[in-house]
Structure 1
Amino acid sequence: MTYGNTPYPGGSAPYPGPPAWGAWAPPPPKPGVIPLGPLGLGEILGGAFATIGRHWKHLLGFALAVYGVALAVFGGALVIAYLSVREELHQLLDRSGGSAPDSDQVVPVVVMFAGVYVFGIIAMLVANAVVYASCPAVLQDAVLGRPSSIGLLWRRVRPRVGAVLGTILITALIAAVPLLLMAVAVIGMVVTLIALAVDSTGDFAWLMLVGILGTLATGPVAIWLWVRFSFAPAVAVFEGQGTIGALSRSAQLVRGSWWRVFGISLLAFAMAAVASYLVQLVFQLLSLIPTGPASLSDGAADGGVALTIVLTTMAFGLLTTLVGQILTSAFPQLVVALLYVDQRIRKENLAATLAEAAGLQPRQPQAGYGA
């Protein structure tokens, strides 16, 4: 099922005008989680919550499995890295005295764990791409009021992961420029303060100035581009576009509605961050239960209790990380995907196509939403 066989602007056939509901009196029909008409803020947020409520087993279960696999792969790489440099690592940890360690001991450890760190970043990027692709894939059924399944979800997501990953990498590179300059500013400030405390000179103040001015110059541009390309994952899934085509198509759909897309997207990310924090806070409080007075009633924990505390804390920490990552990934992407649908309804009469796909027989059908 796809949204994407309609002609694009500049092609041989123009887009139709805004949807006309001559056969229905307002409000427009609502076969799924949203009414098939231009969406307001409440309808977009409500549609995202309704999608999670109706398809939480598929959406959240799928995300949990994806991030769980990524974490397991990263853990396996970490174990392999440790086994590879175990002797060098133990020699470093067992050193006594103030002598500097040999480079033969330090370099293998640093290289190995740096490689694991890069591998972990790649694994998380791929996992994010899969989850980002799953949100519009689930939304296809939620908008039409159709049931979904894990198997159907995976069949839709699998061929689109590469394109979605490409869009994520490009937008991440755009955001990396101001973030790196901000890091330069922070480092320059710290170095300058240390230098002033030691010898009363501020020779590194220029580094802080360059970082601050660079962040102010590139930050707004990065935000503007991020919003223009925010529909790209949804386009890659709904329309089957490649990476570059999805970015271009996203820019075309956002044009004229930048501030609206920016404001609603920012609100969605803020809501997800707050929800993630509250959930993590609850799990952190629960993780303190094994360390309560009952477990330490004798004044000191024995080896078994200490091991239980460590394992419980690690388990809760892992679960907290997974839940937080799912919340901050899934909900904003559902909102952005609904913004994509809203823009196509407003600009391209997608509502008529959705109504036809839902079996409502709209007055002006539009090709492009097939089974």
Structure 2
Amino acid sequence: MAQDAGWGGGPYGGAPYGGAPYGGAPYGGAPYGGPPGGPPGWGGWGGGWMPPKPGVIPLGPLRLGDIFNGAFSTVGRHGKQLFGIGAAVYGGALAVVVAAVAIGYSATSGHLDRMFSLGSDEDPRTDDWVPVVIALCSIALVCLIAAVLSTALMYAAVPAVLQEAVLGRPTTFSAVWRRAWARVPAVIGTVFLTWAIAMIPLLLAWAGIIALMIGTIAMDGGASIALVVIGIVGAMATAPLAVWLWVKFSLAPSAVVFENQGPIAAMRRSSALVRGDWWRIFGISLLAGAIAGVASYLIQLPFSFIGMFSGMLGSANLGDDPNPASIIVAMSGYLVVMMIGQLVSQLIVATFPPLVTGLLYVDRRIRTENLGPVLAEAAAVPPQYTG
């Protein structure tokens, strides 16, 4: 049975093994009675010592190749847990959304039929369009809740798998699920606060753009040109601030799971770890997102072609004046194929970037808090002498 220990007292957080935080004297002291910074080679790769590699990464400062190799290795070794949880989470969310759409359509089908049968010069009645709007708002709310919950579960599940992958220990679907589910409320709070803070500059920019559009319509001449300039400058000034805040708090979900932190504490932790290495974290995170985006696009391509072919076959049987129900039935093949493609591609997007972010979190703690020897002790693998 894979270990399912609480990590608040293990090598990733708290005071492990009964000592000070991170396995020895606090933050850069002398772990295990050795010289400050640990054995030669742990902090600076010198002295003939090489960091061991019990799991998917060497337990020393990570290079770009180490991070991406570690992410791919984690997918290879723990793919069943990662994709199994992803399939359960997103498959369940998709089933809930489909059920909500089916219930909403069954409750408003009569109103929809009357609205679609109206002529171009006729307006829908209030007792027809109000139930439809209520149904659409209810479906949108269900979609939002399903998206938030599924995203939070994946943000918690990926670091839970990575904890064991770094130490080279096996884990199980049930252990990861329990660990992830326990941290979902804190992850939701962290993600919400992070996006809320990062979105403030963008919302201000959008408010400026809307004001610009209104001003352009209402005014002319020099006033419109001035508003255009102000809108462009505002967008250019606020977008970089939003990106800076996003990177600053990007390690917070990992801190929530690795260290059992609450949302505010995790965001402070992320800010401290990112300090001094913002550009590197930004570049690696951007590269990970680009790789996941390209992979997602390539995965969806064949599903798109199959869906278009299925949709053409279904629409060929429609009459001259089809009702909404017959249109939905005719396009059901296309919708099912596209949803399957979206589900498969979403598994990649929701797995790979968080793995890279989690490894960046481990790397920053290795570099700034000498976490490597503690992880080596937890994995029961001593440093290897090469000279």
TM-score exceeds 0.5: yes
Match for residue 265 of structure 1? 285
Report how far residue 239 of structure 1 moved.
0.3
Deviates more, 1:106-115 or 1:51-60: 106-115
Match for residue 367 of structure 1? none
Pick from 346, 357, 363 the counterpart of residue 325 of structure 1.
346
Report how far residue 201 of structure 1 moved.
8.0
Amino acid at match of 1:5: G
Match for residue 74 of structure 1? 97
Pick from 257, 261, 277 the counterpart of residue 297 of structure 2.
277
Please say if 1:4 is aligned against 2:8: no
Pick from 131, 147, 152 the counterpart of residue 175 of structure 2.
152
Counterpart CA distance in 1 for 2:60 and 2:228 is 50
Pick from 36, 39, 51 the counterpart of residue 20 of structure 1.
39
Deviates more, 1:127-136 or 1:171-180: 171-180
Report how far residue 317 of structure 1 moved.
0.4
Please say if 1:244 is aligned against 2:253: no
1:28–1:35: 8 Å Cα contact kept in structure 2? yes
Give SS of 1:99's match.
coil
Report how far residue 263 of structure 1 moved.
0.9
Once the two structures are superposed, the pairs formed by residues 97-176 of structure 1 within 5 Å of their partners are 97-176=120-199
Counterpart CA distance in 2 for 1:280 and 1:289 is 14
2:14–2:21: 8 Å Cα contact kept in structure 1? no
Counterpart CA distance in 2 for 1:228 and 1:49 is 25
Compared CA separation, residues 50 and 13, structure 1 to 2 (3 A): closer
Match for residue 236 of structure 2? 216
2:41–2:50: 8 Å Cα contact kept in structure 1? no
Pick from 210, 214, 234 the counterpart of residue 254 of structure 2.
234
Report how far residue 29 of structure 1 moved.
0.9
Report how far residue 212 of structure 1 moved.
3.2
Counterpart CA distance in 2 for 1:247 and 1:148 is 28
Compared CA separation, residues 224 and 301, structure 1 to 2 (3 A): closer
1:283–1:316: 8 Å Cα contact kept in structure 2? yes
Pick from 77, 81, 87 the counterpart of residue 110 of structure 2.
87
Give SS of 1:130's match.
helix
1:161-202 deviation per Cα after TM superposition (whole angstroms, max 9, x unaligned): 111111111122234334445555776787789x69xx9889
1:39-90 deviation per Cα after TM superposition (whole angstroms, max 9, x unaligned): 0000001100110011111101211110111111122222222233333322
Counterpart CA distance in 2 for 1:148 and 1:219 is 40
TM-score (norm 2): 0.80
Amino acid at match of 2:295: A
Match for residue 32 of structure 2? none
Counterpart CA distance in 2 for 1:229 and 1:312 is 41
Counterpart CA distance in 1 for 2:328 and 2:279 is 52
Q: Structure 2: which 5+ runs fail to align?
A: 30-35, 319-326
1:184–1:211: 8 Å Cα contact kept in structure 2? no
1:288-318 deviation per Cα after TM superposition (whole angstroms, max 9, x unaligned): 55579xx79xxx9557xx9997333222200
Compared CA separation, residues 244 and 270, structure 1 to 2 (3 A): same
Pick from 344, 347, 358 the counterpart of residue 368 of structure 2.
347
Please say if 1:51 is aligned against 2:74: yes
Amino acid at match of 2:380: G
1:259-302 deviation per Cα after TM superposition (whole angstroms, max 9, x unaligned): 1111111111111111111111132234355579xx79xxx955
2:101–2:139: 8 Å Cα contact kept in structure 1? yes
Counterpart CA distance in 1 for 2:72 and 2:66 is 10
Counterpart CA distance in 2 for 1:230 and 1:213 is 26
Counterpart CA distance in 2 for 1:307 and 1:323 is 23
* Count of residues in correspondence between the two structures: 351
Q: Structure 1: which 5+ runs fail to align?
A: 364-371
Q: Percent identity?
A: 44
Counterpart CA distance in 1 for 2:186 and 2:125 is 45
TM-score (norm 1): 0.83
Counterpart CA distance in 2 for 1:76 and 1:264 is 39
Once the two structures are superposed, the pairs formed by residues 32-51 of structure 1 within 5 Å of their partners are 32-51=55-74
1:115-148 deviation per Cα after TM superposition (whole angstroms, max 9, x unaligned): 3213312210110010011111111111111112
Amino acid at match of 1:147: P
